[in-house]
Structure 1
């Protein structure tokens, strides 16, 4: 298995709707669990330079081997709440790089996600052989 990488996922709620935001994070947590990914809710984990205040952001932290399939599954589970208009934005941090997505959803955003996953994924997934 490849080296684990820490991923921070920050959610910015829509107009201070804490109930909807908590539900969205809970649903994301459940989707990640179905992928076999264990997420935690760290205290004070919002980035210092985020547009929303630290107390407004909700964060999940995970440790994964950043293979394209797994990283893609994590990001798709994460942006689901953005697609459903449950969050104003989602910020994903991996190895010091950030991917920030703001609603509404579009195919252009999916293209940005695909490119980001390709750039940040380990090349060989478990079970694959190299020449």
Structure 2
């Protein structure tokens, strides 16, 4: 089996407008398409990161809570590669986003840090 790349990551949010603002205005992702699916009472927002990857942000009426434990089964976190972790951390803190202390990965030697999206999904920023 030959796979080319990750096609997309899908995220279901609890507050569409808040999450849309977070991913577009705070993180700076580009809107590719926004669709309201009336039959599902759901928005689907396609977001671009550069030219290669895409995030699909979904809203559904009354989505169930997710168990929020770092080591629970399922998606652990979403990670973005950045040129300067310290610069990204400073920009996020200036926007009143709580940023964990920058750490060094003992396996790669690269800097990384975490924030949380509006629903508590951990988002990692990793040094290029």
Q: What TM-score, normalized to structure 1? A: 0.32
Structure of greater relative contact order (alpha carbons < 8 Å, 6+ residues apart): 1
When Rg is computed on C-alpha atoms for both structures, the one with the higher figure is 2
More strand by share: 2
Q: Which has the higher helix share?
A: 1
Tell me the TM-score normalised to structure 2 length. 0.32
